[in-house]
Chain A
Amino acid sequence: MQQLANPNRLIAIADRWRPWLWALAGLLFGSGLILALIQSPPDYQQGETVRIMFVHVPAAWMALAAYTFMALAHGTAIVFRHPVADLAAKAAAPAGLCFTFLALITGSLWGKPMWGTWWQWGDARLTSMFILLLLYAGYLAVWQTIEEPRRAARIAAIVALVGFINVPIIKFSVDWWSTLHQPASVLRMDGPAIHVSLLVPLLVMGAAYGALFAALVLANIKSEILARRIRQIQISAASRV
């Protein structure tokens, strides 16, 4: 982990891994879409609508994974004084926001034909996911509005760590409260409850979203390191004048 504390080394690692991750994401999305749209059969109850699951569920997984990554990165920055960890957390937020938005939109598009409603405020899973969207938006707003990077990182860490309470609430909301959203069917103690013909495309799409997330985070980390360098050059140039 100490190796990653050196921004130059981190940029070198990011540059080396990024093309492979883009390629892997492209490959997984290609094969995942073939499996999801052509290979897998329609569900006996949901019919073709089940195919929404292949974009909805991975988006929801990655929304939670991205927030967990942010909380861990900020935790690392606080405990180990890791200089790049705050930037890694910031780098994950745009993708996390996008995945949360997609999980909500695609969930709504599935809910209308299956539940007969686009949205249900009384549902714990839906509402807690909406809170996650607000947390991502608030987190990014902190970075945008506070100019001094260290202060922004400190307040962003508070938002990320306090907001992390919402992650287990989202995961277990379907077990703790009996509401509209169905219980977990893949990440369960007694194994997946869905047929393998639907499980395989779902896992491939999940891996595609994961590879995409990793590539986006590496690109954003490099972007943030370069932005800090630009800021330092501009400050030193201004102080010389």
Chain B
Amino acid sequence: LDLSAPHIGFVIASYVVSGAAIASLVFVTLAKLRAQERKLADLARLRKQQDLVNDEQ
């Protein structure tokens, strides 16, 4: 890659935009998955606690 070539700014911009968009997509996808896993685990724990309270009653 010749950094002094004409129009090199367009090449760099293409790779920066692509990298940023792909990194954001991966980050958002994984964050959403982690959030759902955590939420489901919390709900399961709550349900278990509620069942225990019901049993005691």
Q: Are A106 and B5 in contact (CB under 8 A)?
A: no
- CB-CB under 8 A from A9, the residues of chain B are none
Secondary structure of the B contact surface, majority rule:
helix
> Which residue numbers of A lie inside 8 Å of B, CB to CB?
37-38, 42, 47-49, 51-52, 55-56, 59, 94-95, 98, 101-102, 105-106, 109-110, 112-113, 212, 216, 219-220, 222-223, 226-227, 229-230, 233-234, 237
Contact indicator B18/A55 (Cβ below 8 Å)? yes
* B residues 1-37 touching A (CB-CB < 8 Å): 1-2, 5-8, 10-11, 13-15, 17-18, 21-22, 25-26, 28-30, 32-33, 36-37
User: Which of A56, A98, A226 contacts B40, CB < 8 Å?
Assistant: A226
- Chain B residues whose C-beta falls within 8 Å of the C-beta of A98 in the assembled complex: 21-22, 25
Smallest CB-CB separation from A33: which chain B residue?
B15
**Distance of A51 Cα from B14 Cα, bound (Å):** 9
Asked whether B33 lies within 8 Å of A55 as measured between CB atoms, the reply is: no
Q: List 17 A-B contacts (CB under 8 A).
A: A37-B15, A47-B6, A48-B2, A48-B5, A49-B10, A51-B1, A51-B11, A52-B14, A55-B15, A102-B21, A112-B10, A216-B29, A220-B32, A222-B33, A223-B32, A226-B36, A233-B47
Instruction: Please tell me if the beta carbons of B7 and A219 are within 8 angstroms of each other in the complex.
Output: no
A233 → B minimal CB distance (Å): 5
Question: Measured between alpha carbons, how far is A52 from B2 in the docked complex, in Å?
Answer: 14
Q: Which of B5, B14, B33, B47 is packed against the most chain A CB atoms within 10 Å?
A: B14
> In the complex, are the beta carbons of A230 and B14 less than 8 A apart?
no
